[in-house]
Copies of this chain bind each other. A is one copy, B any other.
Amino acid sequence: MKSQVDVRQRILAENESRAAGIRERFAAQGTLVLNLISSPGSGKTTLLEETVRGFAPRHRMGVLVGDVATERDAARLQALQIPAYQILTGGACHLDARQITAALERIDTDELDFLFIENVGNLICPTAYELGEDFKVALLSVAEGDDKPFKYPAIFSRARATVITKADLLAHTAFDMQAVREQIQSLQPEGALLVTSTREAPGIDAWLDFLSGALAAKREAAGG
């Protein structure tokens, strides 16, 4: 179906161009922009809640969050007194750069160290749409099983970091961490693998250190 391919290529090209504008804007102000991608229920919002708590008052962060329906996730983040805005896709399975550009009119991002974009819960569709991020972060909950990187190679090969969430469930599931480590290593040899649980302490500090390091690297590269 040639026309379907043509339409998709035009859409992706338009999206790239808008994403480049977003990237330029945040490069100029030294804000690190991350695109968080995972299945529904992997714990993206919960990880962000813990990130807000862990970073305050050291770093300022804002969040744009995408969902098919409900404003629940943005409300959870706004309750923590950070700028957060809900993008409702009305059925679409991923965010695009046009939606990000429009949403950026709705929150104040001038003084942010980090802008997190929490994509729609979906391991497939968000992968192809650049949103102006510095890099993608994939989340994988222990409850989802250890076979997912090879089943969804597009996202796990493009994510600079993979965050394993809900590690407190390791004792209650058959999840082979070494198998996941090997799949990630094969798909993205340069990628970081972080293991977190927000119901228990371990892991969040390593995630915060990873973020601080990436922010410092961006600012150093910009000569700031």
Contact = CB atoms under 8 A, between A and B. Distances in A.
A151 B172 CA distance: 27
A37 to B, nearest CB: 12
Kindly state the interface size class of chain A when it binds its partner: 35 or more
A168 B121 CA distance: 24
Nearest to A125: B93
A150 B88 CA distance: 13
Contact of A148 (B4, B40, B173): B40
A7 interface: yes
A176 to B, nearest CB: 14
Nearest to A142: B143
A121 B68 contact: no
A151 B93 contact: no
Contacts of A42: 144
A11 B7 contact: no
A166 B169 CA distance: 12
B91 A93 contact: no
Contacts of A150: 69-70, 72
Given A39-B41, A72-B147, A143-B166, 13 more contacts: A3-B3, A3-B7, A7-B7, A39-B40, A40-B151, A41-B145, A68-B151, A69-B150, A69-B153, A72-B150, A91-B154, A93-B124, A121-B123
Q: Which 5 A-B pairs have the closest CB atoms?
A: A41-B144, A143-B143, A93-B124, A39-B40, A39-B39
